[in-house]
Every structure is written in C-alpha cells, then in structure tokens.
Amino acid sequence: RKYNVTLLVIDQRPSGIDDEVMSQIGTKATYLLDNEKDIDSVLMGVSGKSELKTVLSKLEAKQQALIFGHALPMPVVVKTREYGSAESYKEFGFRDAAELKRKAEEEIKDLF
C-alpha cells in the first residue's frame, strides 16, 4: 500500500496457499468452489463467513464471481464477460480492421 503496488494471487486450490499469505490479502475474488478446504481458506478471517458461504455455493459455475474485502463496502457478486468471441471483443470496444479504416477515413474527412 505504501508504494501503490498491487499483487494479484491466483490459484485453483486456495487451500494450498500459506495461511500467512492469505491473511495479508485484503480483497478477494472467488468463483464457485467445490472443496470445503478451499472455501474455508478463502473465507478465513472474514466476518459473515456463513452468509458468504451460502452466496458462494449459489454462484453459477461460469461467469459469476464473489468479490469481497477492504476495497468494497460490502461483498458483491459480479458476472464476468465472455472471453474470446467476436461479440465479446465488440463489447470491449475493439473493431475489425475494415471498421477501423472506415472510421479513420471519416475522421480525416471531418478534419479537412
């Protein structure tokens, strides 16, 4: 925090992460977990653990995540975007080459 550095820890088995490391993670994002040890590890030291466990168990298998911790005033369930399809790239604002060329030509025409 002092140096404005952020570290993202990603693991499919959070129970394998050392307890000392887990205790230093301020904000956590987790998808659906099916292993009780993993669930307990992610929720270690969190107030309202039983309620969050219920929310976590009801997440969709894909595209939903539970985010909670210091960066948020309350836990939030988010739906992540689909990745890799042409439609998902359009949602991000990416355009294909022909569309980019047409847009650039329009902007040049407007300038001159």
Return the closest-CA partner of residue 76 out of 28, 23, 10, 25.
28
In the chain, domain spans: 1-80, 83-112
Beta strand segments in the chain, E: 27-30, 64-69, 76-79
Dig out the tokens for 41 from the structure.
């590890």
- Buried-state track 27-60, b at ≥16 Cβ within 10 A, e below 16: ebbbeebeeeebbebbbeeeeeeeebbeebeebe
Instruction: Say if residues 33 and 42 touch (Cβ distance below 8 Å).
Output: yes
Which percentage of the chain shows pLDDT scores above 90?
Answer: 50
- pLDDT, tens digit (0-9, with 9 covering 90-100), for 14-63: 999 999 999 889 999 999 999 999 999 999 988 899 999 999 999 998 88
